[in-house]
Amino acid sequence: MTEPVITLKDATVTVGNQTEILKQLNLEIYPGDFITVLGTNGAGKSTLFNAISGDLALSSGSVYHQGKDITNLPAVKRTAFLARVFQDPKMGTAPRMTVAENLLLAEKRGSRRTLRNRHLTSQKLDFYHEITEKMGNNLENRLQTAAGSLSGGQRQALSFLMAIQVKPELLLLDEHTAALDPKTSAQLMDATNHQVVDNHLTALMITHNLADALTYGNRLIVLNAGKIVLDVKDQEKKDLSEEDLLEYFVH
């Protein structure tokens, strides 16, 4: 049987005076899963991502990577196999470096980020042109522009490309289109979907957009009060409507 990329077993995160913000959560993420993650504000979606990335320690329970216990593995070591894109376009890119330099920097995910001994050859620039063009928002014509001068949509597209430059075993998309205007958001969502499908990526995507959660991915989970209250895939997911989903949004 295929081994899950990541397994959470009875994962519990407790903060402050014993408030459980993730409650004995069980989740198996299989290779090729594209899981959309829904839930009300405060349901625990970002906490779930932080538990997977190692940014928040579990109070009890375990995290496994390819069957190996990584519960105590620090976040920095987990970047060897996972990448994350955040909501804020300012995160994930170096603002004073050009788009091409940022892409060059991303070529060695998991190791020290430095440009020493790495050079922008014409082959690399051609390759960057090719990959940025696929994002469909003119990023390919801004390779020599400082990342800080890009539009929000272009900067998120760059963050996304940097996250997948070295194919991660798991990609965490943390509302990565939420800070963009509706048209730009839809455009980036479409490009994201193509990239995930074409590159056979395994991904989790937090969204508050019910239509996106239903349209994209093969699997959908809903979190409520630190627990998964719905986990559906394939045909069962396709059969869901927005009205069905709203029933799981209980405060």
Ligand X SMILES: Nc1ncnc2c1ncn2[C@@H]1O[C@H](COP(=O)(O)OP(=O)(O)OP(=O)(O)O)[C@@H](O)[C@H]1O
Asked if 251 and 76 count as a contact pair (C-beta separation under 8 A), the reply is no
- Cross-strand pairs, 25: 11
Among 36, 47, 137, 184, binds ligand X (CB under 6 A): 47
Asked if 196 and 206 count as a contact pair (C-beta separation under 8 A), the reply is no
Binding region for ligand X (CB under 6 A) out of 44-52, 68-76, 118-126, 139-147: 44-52
In this structure, the dihedral spanned by the alpha carbons of residues 231, 236, 239 and 241, taken in order and rounded to 10 degrees, is -10
- Per-residue contact track with ligand X, 16 to 35, x per CB under 6 A? x----x--------------
Tokens, residue 122: 């014409």
Q: Which is nearer to ligand X, 45 or 109 (CB)?
A: 45
Pick from 74, 51, 61: nearest CA to 24: 61
Q: Which is nearer to ligand X, 43 or 100 (CB)?
A: 43
The Cα–Cα gap between 77 and 141 comes to: 34
Among 5, 7, 29, 44, binds ligand X (CB under 6 A): 44
Q: Does residue number 250 form part of the binding site for ligand X (CB under 6 A)?
A: no
Contact footprint for ligand X (CB under 6 A): 15-16, 21, 39, 41-47
